[in-house]
Chains A and B, each alone.
Chain A
Amino acid sequence: MASEDSTLISLVEKASEGDRRSVGRLLTLVERGGDSAEQVAEATHTLSGKSHVIGITGAPGAGKSTLTACLARDLAVSEYKPAVLAVDPSSPLTGGAILGDRVRMEEASEAGAFIRSMATRGHAGGLALAVPGMVRVFDAFGFNPIIIETVGVGQVEVDVASAADTVVVVVTSGWGDAVQANKAGLLEIADLFVVNKADRPGASDARRDLELMIDLSQLTGQAVRRPEIVMTTATEGEGLDEFKKAIFEHKELLFEGEQISIRRSKRWKAEVRSRLDYLLSEVATESIENLEEEKGSSPGSVARKIAKNLLKKDELR
């Protein structure tokens, strides 16, 4: 254990001196979870909290990677030191994954952006545990802003993206009608909408549908601030300046008032919650592993009995 501790300390030291390989190693430790992840979390927690975190989500093929790549490149060539965490799905059958985001992020990488690809690795909740920790590593070692890019089809991915300071939802023309917009729950989390592939027919319809849905949210009082809508054709570079401007405007709005601390304390709470969920589910899994069927007892009554016993115990590490 002593050697593990010293490895960790030297990794943190080297990472603070700007060694990108050590940052890469620390990200891996967080991603794998377990004790080392906890140690990295402790070591980076007090160093973090300075960076602006941008979440970019939307359906597959909407243009998230291209937009992220353009944004990261532009930021890297100006005075920023951006990092990208690009999440792609793991195969549910084999656990393997093809992480292809670097293909589009070549220019961003050459301009100096730190790009890390990440697979969802199947286990529910695992992503929700690893992503905040990985963002914290970037934050602790001076990367700013940090862009999280996820496929926004699953609830977990939406949760992950919404753990950002500024949440961008990317849609395209023909992405589905207004009802889909409501159903997906994307409206509640978006600070900024991008209608990408705006050169295609139907882009203005997509915009109109969004406007309508935002109107409705305002009507029910659910949304506090009206999210902006930006039209882009990312592959042609159209609308990218507006996109960047909208992100920075949102950032200013956040940092100028109370907003940022409210948002971050919500985020902190959400992270405590997902860690708690994880710990509890581990204990739950253990306690039913050797459970024998009790004929005549309902599953609900057995679960309540187990829960009562667990709550008295000190089984969490």
Chain B
Amino acid sequence: MNKKENAPIRIVLAKLGLDGHDRGLKVVARMLRDAGMEVVYLGLRQTTEMVVTAVEQEDADAVGISMHNAGHLTLAPRIVKALEDAGLDVPVVVGGIVPESDLEAMAEAGVAGVLGPGSSAEDVATCVREAVAARGE
């Protein structure tokens, strides 16, 4: 509906399971805030259900998941599927440690973008913006 273009992007940020490294997520939250987005910060120890609930209630435009425990090949597809099953058409962006050899598998699983260490604030914001724009078309 109208005015959609003017409204800030709303993104849900979370870490799943027992992965306790949340510094990266906090930095990314600040980067996205400074890029003019509204960050719904869930933080640590989230489940896929909690992320789905948050996306539903917050009417979020995107989801950002941070992963540092090599669980990305299991958890990223799971969250993409859980969102799809709930009828939520929102892109999932993954940040953290993802080996290059897994990038193809991530794309196949429906992950909209992967941000590794060293990504600049601009890279992060652009990745989210493009992922949201691609869904909007």
Contact = CB atoms under 8 A, between A and B. Distances in A.
A27 B41 contact: no
Interface string B104-136: 000000000000000000000000000000000
Given A21-B56, A99-B38, A103-B41, A91 B33 contact: yes
A94 B1 contact: no
A32 B7 contact: yes
B1 A29 contact: yes
B2 interface: yes
A248 to B, nearest CB: 25
A185 to B, nearest CB: 29
A119 B56 contact: no
A66 interface: no
Nearest to A33: B3
B77 interface: no
B84 to A, nearest CB: 13
A259 interface: no
A98 B56 contact: no
Given A32-B3, A98-B33, A119-B8, A109 B50 contact: yes
Report, as a range, how many residues of chain B touch the other chain: 20 to 34
A259 to B, nearest CB: 32
A78 to B, nearest CB: 20
B50 A119 contact: no
Interface in A58-105: 90-91, 94-100, 102-103
Given A35-B2, A94-B34, A97-B39, A28 B59 contact: yes
A103 B43 contact: yes
B17 interface: no
Contacts of B4: 32
A35 B3 CA distance: 9
B137 to A, nearest CB: 17
Contacts of B6: 32
B35 interface: yes
B1 A36 contact: yes
A240 interface: no
Contacts of B35: 94, 96
29 contacts: A4-B2, A7-B1, A20-B56, A21-B59, A24-B57, A24-B59, A27-B59, A28-B7, A31-B7, A90-B38, A91-B34, A94-B35, A95-B8, A96-B32, A96-B37, A97-B8, A97-B38, A98-B29, A98-B33, A99-B39, A100-B41, A100-B43, A102-B41, A106-B50, A109-B50, A109-B53, A109-B54, A114-B57, A117-B58
A21 B3 contact: no
B40 interface: yes
Nearest to B4: A32
A25 interface: yes
A98 B41 contact: yes
A109 B58 CA distance: 12
